A and B are shown apart, each in its own frame.
Chain A
Amino acid sequence: MSNEVPLWEVFIRPRNGLAHKHVGSLHATDEVMALQAARDVYTRRGEGNSIWVVPSVAITASDPDQAAENFEPTGDKIYRHPTFYEIPEEVGHM
């Protein structure tokens, strides 16, 4: 059955103010059933208050063969990290 049923990626927002975070995937026939399945599979222990589901086929992924040229050049640019600043507490999540 799972061969015929599309795959969906599930994103959960744990609390208001935070971003939706990828938590896993599941099989469902359509977006309504995907949302219900996501609720049943991924929010059983109070993990969140909002769910997104996205068809897995809609995701475009980076090529692992290009990992070196994509990601390694940032390795020595430590000045891009915001560690040289004090973040005021009022700013909250960043």
Chain B
Amino acid sequence: MTLAGAILELADDHLVLGHRVSEWCGHAPMLEEDLAMPNMALDLIGTARTLYEYAAELEGKGQSEDDMAYLRGEREYRNCLLVERPNGDFAHTMLRQLFFAAFMEPYWQAALNSEDKVVRGVAGKAVKEMAYHIRHAGEWVIRLGDGTEESARRMQDAVSALAIYTDELFEGNAVSELPDRAAIRSDWTATVSHIFAEAGLELPETKFPQTGGRSGKHGEGLGHMLAEMQSVYRAHPGASW
């Protein structure tokens, strides 16, 4: 794994999840969340932009961040499967956010000591954003998990649906400039267990973890998402905004 490849994986995680969360804009269950979710989406997309720019620079083929985001097909995307999962209901979206942020916050924390200046820069900004995502999504997971009969059922459904995608977060070959993903597992488990205990939820044992995103093997949903996300740029190649 090259540094460019590793940065691209990170960028794809952030763009795909950022786009997924942005799909809620105008559809949130309440006005306050209709601002909170685009806020989170913009955090993620902002991080993705810096990472794409850096990946393009490292690859040195003269590509722009837009080329990286809009001109690669789904098999070229290297995001983990968790982030591309469809939004489902609000419980699914908040749990997906918690699972991701509970991984990224300690990841960026470790990346603050990277030998790479750009990585340190991104980490310094992203670590605070991810801490807030854990808080915001975590508080919702607690309230829905420990809420009404219906909210508890929906939260439990989200856990059953998404837990199989969490092992993939810790997969991958380390490069010296970035933290080892496998080493993040204990922090992730501590954060999630703490919130789940308050929410009255249990993290199930996963017999058959889903994986493959890092080698471009994605679920059906990603192609649909990219088709929509890339349509304007592909219809108007070279357009800028």
Q: Which residues of A contact B (CB under 8 A)?
A: 1-2, 5, 26-29, 32-33, 36-37, 39-41, 44
Given contacts A1-B30, A5-B30, A32-B139, 16 further A-B contacts (CB under 8 A): A2-B30, A26-B32, A28-B32, A33-B139, A33-B143, A36-B36, A36-B136, A37-B32, A37-B36, A39-B132, A40-B35, A40-B36, A40-B136, A41-B32, A41-B35, A44-B39
Chain B interface residue count: which class? 10 to 19
Residues on B with beta carbons closer than 8 Å to the beta carbon of A27? 30-32
Q: Which B residues, 129 to 166, have Cβ-Cβ distances below 8 Å to chain A?
A: 132, 135-136, 139, 143
Residues on A with beta carbons closer than 8 Å to the beta carbon of B143? 29, 33
Please, how many angstroms separate the alpha-carbon atoms of A68 and B79 in the complex?
A: 65
* 18 residue pairs from A and B, CB less than 8 Å apart: A1-B29, A1-B30, A5-B30, A26-B31, A28-B32, A29-B143, A32-B139, A33-B143, A36-B36, A36-B135, A36-B136, A37-B33, A37-B36, A40-B35, A40-B36, A41-B32, A44-B35, A44-B39
Task: Specify the chain B residue showing the minimal Cβ separation from A26.
Answer: B32
Please, how many angstroms separate the alpha-carbon atoms of A33 and B29 in the complex?
A: 14
Residues on A with beta carbons closer than 8 Å to the beta carbon of B132? 39
Q: How far is the CB of B123 from chain A (nearest CB, A)?
A: 22
| Interface SS of chain B | helix
Residues on B with beta carbons closer than 8 Å to the beta carbon of A32? 139
Please, how many angstroms separate the alpha-carbon atoms of A14 and B36 in the complex?
A: 20
Contact (A36, B139) CB under 8 Å given A41-B35, A44-B35, A44-B39: yes
Q: Which residues of B contact A (CB under 8 A)?
A: 29-33, 35-36, 39, 132, 135-136, 139, 143
Residues on B with beta carbons closer than 8 Å to the beta carbon of A28? 32
Q: How far is the CB of B202 from chain A (nearest CB, A)?
A: 23
Residues on A with beta carbons closer than 8 Å to the beta carbon of B139? 32-33, 36
Residues on B with beta carbons closer than 8 Å to the beta carbon of A37? 32-33, 36
Residues on B with beta carbons closer than 8 Å to the beta carbon of A2? 30
Please, how many angstroms separate the alpha-carbon atoms of A2 and B30 in the complex?
A: 8
A40 touches B29 (CB 8 A): no
Q: How far is the CB of B140 from chain A (nearest CB, A)?
A: 8
Residues on A with beta carbons closer than 8 Å to the beta carbon of B136? 36, 40
Scoring B32, B39, B136 by chain A CB atoms within 10 A of each residue's CB, the highest score goes to B32
Residues on B with beta carbons closer than 8 Å to the beta carbon of A44? 35, 39
Please, how many angstroms separate the alpha-carbon atoms of A67 and B152 in the complex?
A: 49
Q: How far is the CB of B64 from chain A (nearest CB, A)?
A: 27
Q: How far is the CB of B143 from chain A (nearest CB, A)?
A: 7
Task: Specify the chain B residue showing the minimal Cβ separation from A38.
Answer: B32
Residues on B with beta carbons closer than 8 Å to the beta carbon of A33? 139, 143
Please, how many angstroms separate the alpha-carbon atoms of A92 and B135 in the complex?
A: 37
Please, how many angstroms separate the alpha-carbon atoms of A32 and B32 in the complex?
A: 13
